[in-house]
Amino acid sequence: MNGSKEMAQRLLLTGASGFLGSACRAAWADAYTIIPLCSRRTLSRPGLLPCDITDYGEVKAVLAEHRPDCVVHLAAIRDANLCQKQPLAAARVNTQATGDLAGLCADRHLPFVFTSTDLVFDGREAPYSEADSVNPLSAYGEQKALAEELVRARWPAAVIARLPLLFGPVGEGTENYAASFLAALGAGQPQRLFVDEFRTPLSGTDAADGVRIALESGHAGLLHLGGAERVSRYEFGQAICRAAGVADSALEPIHQVDLTMAAPRPQDVSLSSELAGALGFEPRALAAALQDLA
C-alpha cells in the first residue's frame, strides 16, 4: 500500500499482542492504520484494544465503531497440549470465534485473512500442498481444520493462510519456540529434540510478509506459507545454536516414541509453498532468518 498515513487503509488485527501480531504491527505500520485487538487476559499495553473475540456482540460492535477496510485474524490458543486438555474452551477461540468473524466480514464484504496451521495434516504424506486433504491428529489441529471449513462456507473470498512453526526474537509480552529454546539452554536445561519430527519453520518477519501478500494479492482460499527448508526438530535446534553462537552439547536426540505428550504429534507436516511463491512470497534460508535472533 502506498500513500500518506492519513489515506492508509484501516486494518483490524486480532491477536495483535502475540508474537506474529507484534511482527505484523512492526512491519505494516507504514502501510496501514492498524486497529490492534488483544485479549483482556493479555497484560494490558499502550495502544492495544482489549476485545473478547468469543463475544459475537462485542466483535460486531468493534467492527461497527472502527469501520476497518480489511481484517487479519491471528488470535488463537496455539498450545496443542493445552487444547488437548481443554478442548471446549480452546474451540471457542480457535473455531467458533473464527467462524463468527468470517461471517461478519462477509456481511461487510471485507478482505479477510485467517491464519491456520500445518497441524491440520496427519504427517504421513508430506510435503503438503493446498490440494492435499486434512486429517488432524490433535484437538488443536481439528479445531483449526473446522475453522477453515467455517471460513470457506461463510466467506469464500477469504484467505486461509496455513503457517508452520514460527521463530524469532522475543518482543514485549511475546514468546516463540526458538527464543524459549535459547532461554532454556541459557538456564542450563537440556533439550530433548525429535530426530523424526519435521517442519518447515518460518521467521516471524517472513511470516508477516507472507500474510501481507495473502491480504494484498487478491488470492482467495488456501495458501501455504512454509519456510524455505524442511528440518527435524533436532536439526532446527542445532541451527539455532549455530546462529546464536552457543554449544549444542545440551541437545539430546530422541524419537517421538521416547516422549509422551498430551497432544498427538504428526511426524512430518512440512509445507509446499509454491503457490505463495508465485504470488511473491520469498522466505529466507533458515540460517539467514535465524540471524534475527542475534
Domain boundaries, the chain: 5-168+201-229+271-285
CA atoms within a 13 Å half-sphere pointing along the CA-CB vector of 258: 10
Q: Could you read off the pLDDT of 113-124 as tens digits, one per residue?
A: 999 999 999 999
Percent of the chain with pLDDT over 70: 95
> If you average pLDDT over residues 127-145, what whole number do you get?
98
Whole-angstrom distance, CA of residue 246 vs CA of residue 185: 9
In this predicted structure, what is the pLDDT of residue 132?
A: 98
Count helices and strands (H / E) in the chain.
Answer: 11, 13
Question: Can you tell me which residue has the cell 538456564?
Answer: 187
User: pLDDT confidence of 5, banded at 50, 70, 90?
Assistant: very low
Whole-angstrom distance, CA of residue 67 vs CA of residue 52: 18
| pLDDT at 41 > cutoff 80 | no
Whole-angstrom distance, CA of residue 186 vs CA of residue 207: 27
Angle between helices 139-154 and 97-108 (to 10 degrees): 20
Q: Could you read off the pLDDT of 240-283 as tens digits, one per residue?
A: 999 989 999 999 999 999 999 999 999 999 999 999 999 999 99
In this predicted structure, what is the pLDDT of residue 45?
A: 67
| pLDDT at 2 > cutoff 50 | no
Question: Residue 121: which of 249, 272, 236 has the closest Cα?
Answer: 272
> If you average pLDDT over residues 66-71, what whole number do you get?
98
Q: Which tops the pLDDT comparison, 2 or 126?
A: 126
Residues 6+ apart with CB under 8 A from 277: none
CA atoms within a 13 Å half-sphere pointing along the CA-CB vector of 107: 11
Burial letters 24-45, b for 16+ CB under 10 A, else e: bbebbeebbbbbbbbbeebeee
| pLDDT at 171 > cutoff 90 | no
| pLDDT at 134 > cutoff 70 | yes
| CATH number 3.40.1440.10 is the correct assignment for the domain at 5-168+201-229+271-285 | no
Question: Please, what is the average pLDDT of the chain?
Answer: 93
Burial letters 84-102, b for 16+ CB under 10 A, else e: beebeebbbbbbbbbbbbb
